[in-house]
Amino acid sequence: MSIAVLDETHLAMQNRFGEQFRSSGIDISPEECCELRAFDEFLARHVQPNRVYDVQCMLLWSEWVRTLRRQVHGFPKLILEKEFLNVIAEKFGVTITEDGSRGAVYPGIRFVP
């Protein structure tokens, strides 16, 4: 991809997340925008709908934290566990269910390493 296309994609992502936060009355800083970009990339690369699989909520959350720590060397400030759970449920249209042996899971979601 060319630099111009990447910049347009980055700007579109910033505007999308920025609008969501502004509509909630929250301003985001450039550092927070980096976290949002990392979150968007994490979802695109590592989370897929799949009718056969379920993924543990805590596994997916811990992979998000691990991914972010590699990129920005810090703990999430915007996308904390509660926000993460809500975004995954909303984005993929799933309801968190309890699995007797594994705890809370996202049904129909697959983590891709």
What's the pLDDT band for 30 if we cut at 50, 70, 90?
Answer: confident
Does pLDDT of 48 surpass 80?
yes
pLDDT value, residue 51? 86
- Residue 37's pLDDT band, with cuts at 50, 70 and 90, is confident
**Does position 5 have pLDDT exceeding 50, yes or no?**
no
Domains of the chain, start order: 3-111 (1.10.10.10)
Would you state the pLDDT for residue 33?
Answer: 80
The tokens describing 58, both together, are 């805590």
What percentage of residues in the chain have a pLDDT greater than 70?
A: 75
H or E element: which one contains 18? Answer: helix 3-23
